């Protein structure tokens, strides 16, 4: 077998979420263990891999690791071409940067709604901060991380991603995000708290929002084109074959959701009735696109779960066919929700519940079985490396998804039980992304800032958000209105509940800070990983 063929075998297996904890194979005298995708010298066999997915003292079999493994040799330069590393670094940089901004405004919002603190002194500053918090958390962090994961999925599946489109998308999205940050940080413009995509009515914000949507849509288009071309690419002996792995299909579905969401906003902007009040028009403008973005988040989160399960514990789907069928079955719901804007007027769709039924009916029918499929595959391995941030982050992501889902099902009215439910769902997505980020960071040739901090981060963030959710849900039960400045409405139990929300927020903010230090610092400081030598080959 030639070296080239052996490398293709190496390329065909790292992070391969289809494969379980298979016996390590020997390539060129070195041992290749599937999960970590690292090559370690033969003498190191039988000792588990250390890497971003293992925290200090954790092993993939749940036992405690003794001593240090020798660093991986730099064969990984072959695995990750320069352009892939740089694009991954760029999109992760945008994602982590937006999380920093979202976190800063979360501090302002959370401690203004904490009776014991009451940080901001005016309702306008509170509402502006709330819009900025949601914009950089929900509108930018989520889609920018999806941008990074499209890079990973294309590399994993051996797709030829158009680098020019991806770089252009990144540049446009980054400029757009920077433009939106200006009115947010100078507290300029009127905030509108409409659901899904709230806005600051300022020219820079509008231009930035359009650019961010266009930039990420370009990235989604680049991935979808590569995925489609790979499916049609005839096999040729001197070309590494494209692979169909669960995350590559998951990210194709996510790409369709992004493009449909962006197109729906454009169609709505062209068809919404100009005479209706501005605030109502804004609600109508982002209603369809905002709902469709939920499919992007669920498809990407599921793809991240597949990869995390494979890397952390060697999980593989109990039924890959069902998994694929579930991913495909998101499409008709998405197409129907977007297609509705070609039949009904946006104002009608805002009130006739069709888009909501197609979205949450579809996500309920597909998202829950997908989560069960992924949780079952991970749980079924019997391996519980709680010291591994990849494992603990993923497990806590499942827990928040379940608790947030239950909070949604038991119902609520227009009070803080809504954001309690929201933070369960968005917290689950965020935790899943935070858990897999060090693995992506590793592929850029960098290593996380502190393994000890990495171990604590998922617990800090996850338990913090849980505290926030319980506080908000409890306060909502005592009539706490959502998105409201001040406490003139409040009774004693509601004040206690919101202080609990504040305590949870403090923990969550510390968890967010730990993540930004651990992943953000290496991204900007170019702190090299164990194999940082510049690669010689490119794909």
The binding site for ligand HEM (CB under 6 A) comprises 103, 106, 109-110, 113, 130, 133-134, 137-138, 141-142, 195, 416, 418-419, 422-423, 426, 430, 468, 482-483, 505, 508-509, 512
Nearest approach, Cβ of residue 418 and ligand HEM (Å): 5
Choice between 264 and 416, CB closer to ligand HEM: 416
Edge-to-edge strand list for the sheet holding 30-33: 25-27, 30-33, 38-41
Nearest approach, Cβ of residue 328 and ligand HEM (Å): 26
**Residues whose CB falls within 8 Å of the CB of residue 392, separated by 6 or more in sequence, listed in order:** 386, 435, 455, 458, 459
Question: How far, CA to CA in Å, does 153 sit from each of 144, 147, 158, 380, 444?
Answer: 14, 10, 8, 24, 14
Nearest approach, Cβ of residue 444 and ligand HEM (Å): 23
Nearest approach, Cβ of residue 258 and ligand HEM (Å): 16
- Rounded CA separation 509/77 (Å): 35
Choice between 314 and 511, CB closer to ligand HEM: 511
Choice between 87 and 475, CB closer to ligand HEM: 475
Choice between 24 and 512, CB closer to ligand HEM: 512
Beta bridge partners of 41: 30
3-state secondary structure of 238: coil
Nearest CA among 155, 53, 9, 2 for reference residue 395: 53
3-state secondary structure of 17: coil
Between strands 199-201 and 30-33, the pairing is unpaired
Nearest approach, Cβ of residue 329 and ligand HEM (Å): 25
Choice between 130 and 296, CB closer to ligand HEM: 130
Nearest approach, Cβ of residue 104 and ligand HEM (Å): 10
The DSSP-derived string for 368-431 is HHHHHHHHHHHHTT----TT-HHHHHHHHHHHHHHHHHHHHHT---SBTHHHHHHHHHHHHHHH
- Rounded CA separation 251/154 (Å): 9
Nearest CA among 98, 33, 100, 39 for reference residue 71: 39
Nearest approach, Cβ of residue 113 and ligand HEM (Å): 5
Nearest approach, Cβ of residue 491 and ligand HEM (Å): 17
Choice between 111 and 344, CB closer to ligand HEM: 111
Could you tell me if 340 and 358 are in contact, meaning their C-beta atoms sit under 8 angstroms apart? yes
Nearest approach, Cβ of residue 490 and ligand HEM (Å): 13
Choice between 253 and 469, CB closer to ligand HEM: 469
Nearest approach, Cβ of residue 169 and ligand HEM (Å): 20
**Residues whose CB falls within 8 Å of the CB of residue 260, separated by 6 or more in sequence, listed in order:** 292, 334, 335, 337, 338
Between strands 190-192 and 199-201, the pairing is antiparallel
Choice between 72 and 109, CB closer to ligand HEM: 109
Choice between 36 and 120, CB closer to ligand HEM: 120
Choice between 134 and 199, CB closer to ligand HEM: 134
State the Cα torsion 521-526-528-534 to the nearest 10°: 160
Choice between 15 and 401, CB closer to ligand HEM: 401
Q: Other C-beta atoms within 10 Å of 343: how many?
A: 9
Nearest approach, Cβ of residue 291 and ligand HEM (Å): 13
Nearest approach, Cβ of residue 336 and ligand HEM (Å): 24
- Rounded CA separation 392/404 (Å): 18
Choice between 103 and 535, CB closer to ligand HEM: 103
Burial bucket for residue 450 (CB in 10 Å: 0-12, 13-18, 19+): middle
Nearest CA among 16, 10, 66 for reference residue 38: 10
């Amino acid at each position: 077998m030639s070296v080239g063929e052996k490398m293709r075998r190496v390329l065909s297996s790292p992070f391969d979420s289809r494969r379980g904890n298979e016996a390590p194979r020997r390539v060129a005298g070195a041992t290749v263990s599937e999960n970590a995708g690292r090559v370690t010298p033969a003498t190191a066999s039988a000792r588990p891999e250390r890497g971003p997915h293992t925290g200090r003292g954790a092993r993939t079999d749940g036992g405690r690791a003794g001593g240090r493994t020798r660093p991986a040799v730099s064969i990984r330069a072959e695995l990750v071409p320069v352009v892939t590393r740089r694009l991954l670094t760029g999109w992760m940089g945008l994602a982590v940067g937006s999380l920093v901004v979202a976190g800063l405004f979360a501090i302002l919002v959370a401690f203004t709604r904490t009776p014991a603190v009451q940080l901001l002194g005016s309702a306008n500053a509170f509402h502006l901060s709330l819009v900025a918090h949601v914009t950089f958390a929900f509108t930018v962090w989520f889609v920018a991380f999806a941008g990074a994961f499209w890079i990973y999925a294309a590399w994993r599946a051996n797709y030829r991603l158009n680098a020019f489109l991806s770089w252009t998308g990144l540049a446009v999205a980054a400029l757009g995000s920077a433009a939106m940050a200006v009115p947010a940080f100078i507290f300029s413009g009127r905030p509108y708290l409409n659901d899904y995509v709230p806005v600051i009515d300022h020219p820079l914000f509008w231009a930035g929002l359009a650019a961010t949507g266009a930039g990420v849509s370009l990235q989604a288009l680049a991935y979808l084109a590569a995925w489609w071309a790979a499916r049609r690419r005839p096999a040729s002996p001197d070309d590494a074959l494209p692979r169909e792995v669960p995350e590559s299909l998951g990210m194709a579905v996510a790409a369709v959701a992004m493009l449909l969401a962006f197109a729906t906003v454009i169609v709505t902007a062209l068809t919404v009735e100009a005479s209706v009040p501005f605030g109502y028009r804004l609600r109508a403008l982002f209603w369809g696109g905002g709902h469709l973005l939920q499919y992007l988040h669920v498809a990407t989160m599921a793809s991240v779960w597949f990869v995390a399960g494979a890397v952390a514990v060697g999980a593989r789907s109990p039924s890959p066919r069902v998994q694929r069928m579930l991913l495909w079955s998101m499409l008709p719901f998405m197409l129907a929700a977007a297609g509705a804007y070609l039949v009904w007027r946006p104002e009608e769709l805002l009130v006739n519940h069709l888009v909501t039924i197609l979205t949450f009916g579809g996500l309920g029918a597909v998202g829950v079985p997908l989560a069960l499929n992924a949780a079952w595959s991970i749980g079924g391995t019997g391996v519980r490396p709680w010291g591994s941030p990849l494992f603990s982050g993923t497990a806590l992501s499942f827990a928040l998804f379940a608790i947030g889902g239950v909070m949604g099902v038991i119902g609520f009215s227009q009070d803080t039980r809504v954001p309690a439910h929201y933070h369960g769902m968005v917290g689950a997505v965020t935790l899943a992304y935070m858990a897999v980020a060090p693995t992506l960071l590793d592929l850029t040739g960098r290593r996380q800032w502190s393994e000890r901090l990495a171990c604590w981060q998922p617990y800090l963030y996850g338990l913090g958000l849980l505290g926030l959710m319980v506080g908000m849900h409890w306060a909502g039960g005592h009539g706490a209105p959502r998105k409201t400045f001040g406490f003139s409405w409040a009774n004693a139990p509601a004040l206690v509940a919101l202080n609990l929300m504040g305590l949870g927020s403090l923990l969550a903010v510390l968890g967010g800070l730990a993540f930004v230090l651990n992943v953000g610092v290496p991204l900007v400081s170019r702190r090299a990983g164990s194999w940082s030598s510049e690669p010689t080959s490119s794909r």
